[in-house]
Amino acid sequence: MAKVKVTYFNVKALGEGIRMLLAYGGQEFEDIRVERDSWPELKPKTPFGQLPMLEIDGKQYAQSIAICRYLGRKYGLAGTTPEEDLIIDQNLDFFNDIRLKTVAANYESDEKVKADKLEDLKKNHFPVLFSKLDQMIKENNGFLAVGRLTWADFVFAGVYDALRMFTHLPDLDEKYPSFSKLRDTVRSLPKVKEFCDSAPKTDL
Amino acid sequence: MAKVKVTYFNVKALGEGIRMLLAYGGQEFEDIRVERDSWPELKPKTPFGQLPMLEIDGKQYAQSIAICRYLGRKYGLAGTTPEEDLIIDQNLDFFNDIRLKTVAANYESDEKVKADKLEDLKKNHFPVLFSKLDQMIKENNGFLAVGRLTWADFVFAGVYDALRMFTHLPDLDEKYPSFSKLRDTVRSLPKVKEFCDSAPKTDL
């Protein structure tokens, strides 16, 4: 069996989709969780100065969504036609746009700018975007695309807790129960559950 | 032949990769360019309230990179192994991260915030990121990944002029000649050139 390592921080977020896909595929892997203060030393040794990073027999890969697409294909979680793959990619990219907007607002260093951006998201963007996302999941039998489990759901399930925190919407789960339900669907898959149960517990 | 429409604004940017891939594939298409003032009316009729949009025999698809990946696969411009596809996706996502950071700074409504972000990019991010991108292209025979032409190069060639403008670096072409060279390589491909020559001329 290939020697596989996942390197990321000690959070779920962008690394968790990769970890859960490997668990789903029955692939043993070393789950390396880097402390923030050792990151500057590791950074120049990664492909693009970013984490997560996947290593397969010494070969390094970066970019979490690219990695999850690759693993999904490997473990039978991709589309069955090119059109299905397009729909999976399209729906996940829509979700990822929401994530990026939300994270960007939270990373503003100026508190006033941050507050204004979060307010703008809450007022003018979240209602439309989350309602669209909710509709998407409902139309797909509780999944993100093509009416069944795909690798995109692993990405969603990995980052959902971090996204929810960054929205600062305490009622997100209650308002759109389809979101946490999809996260739980993925995290309850037998081999994935086994991994999640034994992994370090983190808030995001 | 399928009836294909591309709907976008009258710029290259995120729509151009799709248009050039269709031209490369010999697929006739209707090149619809929406005026800014008719966008609010069209917006709710698109899959996610976003452009570009691709329509194939009436079916609508969104998300430019997802669409380009699909067309690239259709026209023989994808990887030949799952690992090659991972590298194409990974390298393009790295480039897209640079684009997103750059566009986000330009879209700041507060002039002071915008100026500070552009200054931070110029000082602390662009040198590292563009040098890495340059190295990536050089290591891949002038392409973005796997040493030969792929669909990712069409995405790059489509957005490069907009990216360059948004960097506010007048010497980007001179400093990293590999960038404009890659854009020109794609735009010079016989059927692509024919499309580009007959398309409306736009700065970005």
Average pLDDT rounded to a whole number, residues B86-92: 98
Q: Based on the domain organization, do B96 and B31 belong to the same domain?
A: no
Contact A132 B69 (CB under 8 A): no
CB B7 within 8 A of CB B52: yes
Contacts of B73 in chain A (CB under 8 A): 82, 85
Tell me the residue range of the domain where B89 lies: 82-187
Quote the tokens at residue A38: 């050792």
Q: Based on the domain organization, do A167 and A97 belong to the same domain?
A: yes
Three-class secondary structure of residue A168 per DSSP: coil
Contacts of A114 in chain B (CB under 8 A): none
**Torsional sign, CA B98, B99, B101, B106:** positive
Q: What confidence tens digit (pLDDT) does each residue in A103-115 have?
A: 999 999 999 999 9
Average pLDDT rounded to a whole number, residues B104-125: 95
Residue with tokens 């991260």: B97
Q: Is the ipTM of this complex over 0.95?
A: yes
Q: What confidence tens digit (pLDDT) does each residue in A32-66 have?
A: 999 999 999 999 999 999 999 999 999 999 999 99
Q: Based on the domain organization, do B118 and B144 belong to the same domain?
A: yes
Q: Based on the domain organization, do A132 and A66 belong to the same domain?
A: no
Three-class secondary structure of residue A61 per DSSP: strand
Q: Based on the domain organization, do B170 and B121 belong to the same domain?
A: yes
CB A147 within 8 A of CB A167: no
Measure the CA dihedral B62/B65/B67/B70, to 10°.
Answer: -150
Domain of residue B51, CATH code: 3.40.30.10
The model's confidence at residue B36, banded by pLDDT at 50, 70 and 90, is very high
Residue A204 lies in a domain: no
Q: Based on the domain organization, do B94 and B70 belong to the same domain?
A: no
Q: Based on the domain organization, do B58 and B116 belong to the same domain?
A: no
Q: Percent of chain A at pLDDT above 90?
A: 99
Q: Based on the domain organization, do B91 and B53 belong to the same domain?
A: no
**Which residues contact residue A174 at a Cβ distance below 8 angstroms, ignoring those fewer than 6 apart?**
none
> Which one of A70, A93, A94 has the shortest CB-CB distance to B85?
A70
Q: Based on the domain organization, do B101 and B67 belong to the same domain?
A: no
Amino acid letter for position B15: G
* Interchain contact B94–A (C-beta under 8 A): yes
Contact B69 A47 (CB under 8 A): no
Number of domains in chain A: 2
Contact A85 B62 (CB under 8 A): no
The model's confidence at residue B158, banded by pLDDT at 50, 70 and 90, is very high
pLDDT at A1: 83
